[in-house]
Structure 1
Amino acid sequence: MIFEKLKPQVEFIISETNKPVDTRLIKICKLLEKHISYYNWVGFYFRNGGKEELILGPYIGEPTDHTVIPFGKGICGQVAVSNENFVVPDVSAQDNYIACSITVKAEIVIPIFVNGENIGQIDIDSNTPDPFTEADERFLEFVCEKVAGIL
């Protein structure tokens, strides 16, 4: 399975302590987008200090206007409040979805925890309807756990 092959590569990128955090995060985005065919936009959002909003971090994919997302708004904003994974098989069926592109059909967002606090998340958009499985969730939880170690 592709996820098992990518795990050591994620760990290697994380271990490159001579590189800035943002450089390592963008390398992870590029790795996932390149090797997982239905990952069409891969990025990170992080809590903006003490504010109840997320700010866009490193990402790969189409440019987005959504550089600041209030807590509770959209899928990312909901994850910031719920502290739980959110898998959306069909974004058109979500009332609280923020459309980034008309090509996006599905989304998965996994929170990143540092010392038990939700400090951000990885956000994946897919142009394929309903592509995400439990294996995606477990793999992205692994990625977030590794990323948490450098934040």
Structure 2
Amino acid sequence: MTFQELKPKVTEIILKANLSRDEKLLNICQLLSDSITYYNWVGFYFANHDTKTLHLGPYVGAETDHTIIPFGKGICGQVAESNTNFVVPDVAAQDNYIACSFTVKSEIVVPLFVDGKNIGQIDIDSHVIDPFTEEDERFLEFVCVEIAKLY
């Protein structure tokens, strides 16, 4: 399924009145995981600015021990500080990478803003080296804008 075909499906999930916010987030994770072959782990981390930590939210994929990540640590922690997208074509070449699984070869993280504040991020791992394009970034930015409507 193309990103253009996925956009209305994401919006449809956001608009479902009978689902909680976490159910909507989980459904989006499942949609992306099922629809894009190289999205092998899809999840959300949410920021606690008082403790400067990220906390794991809904996700689809292999279990992770990384339920709390300090700002600055790993790719997600760096995005919490930089407020910018981070695409890692090959995690083996990244110094500040927190290994989740030996099967993970690449990662993309896009921050989630509400009223100009970075409240979290969508994090996607792939078992393929260098699959993420600018099109992935634009699509995931769209997803985050839609999710921001829930806050």
| TM bucket, shorter chain | over 0.9
Q: 2:73: which partner in 1?
A: 73
Query: Aligned-residue CA RMSD in angstroms?
Result: 0.8
Map 1:106-117; keep pairs closer than 5 Å: 106-117=106-117
Q: 2:128: which partner in 1?
A: 128
Question: 2-side partners of 1:149 and 1:101: how far apart?
Answer: 32
Question: 2-side partners of 1:20 and 1:48: how far apart?
Answer: 21
The number of residue pairs the alignment matches comes to 151
Shift of 1:98: 0.2
Question: 1-side partners of 2:5 and 2:19: how far apart?
Answer: 23
Q: 1:104: which partner in 2?
A: 104
Question: 1-side partners of 2:9 and 2:21: how far apart?
Answer: 16
Shift of 1:19: 1.0
Question: 1-side partners of 2:85 and 2:51: how far apart?
Answer: 21
Secondary structure in structure 2 of the residue aligned to 1:95: coil
Q: Which amino acid aligns with 2:84?
A: E
Question: 1-side partners of 2:101 and 2:17: how far apart?
Answer: 34
State the TM-score, normalizing by the size of structure 2. 0.98
Question: 1-side partners of 2:72 and 2:54: how far apart?
Answer: 10
Secondary structure in structure 2 of the residue aligned to 1:136: helix
Question: 2-side partners of 1:71 and 1:17: how far apart?
Answer: 33
2:97 is aligned with 1:91? no
Unaligned runs of 5+ in 2: none
Question: 1-side partners of 2:85 and 2:41: how far apart?
Answer: 17
Shift of 1:18: 2.2
Q: 2:21: which partner in 1?
A: 21
The one-character-per-residue Cα deviations of 1:12-56 (angstroms, maximum 9, x if unpaired) are 000012210000000000000000000000000001252200000
State the TM-score, normalizing by the size of structure 1. 0.98
Identity %: 66
Question: 1-side partners of 2:71 and 2:22: how far apart?
Answer: 23
The one-character-per-residue Cα deviations of 1:47-106 (angstroms, maximum 9, x if unpaired) are 125220000000000000000000000000000000000000000000000000000000
Question: 2-side partners of 1:51 and 1:18: how far apart?
Answer: 33
In structure 2, do the counterparts of structure 1 residues 49 and 17 end up closer, same or farther at CA, with 3 Å as the change threshold?
Answer: farther
Unaligned runs of 5+ in 1: none
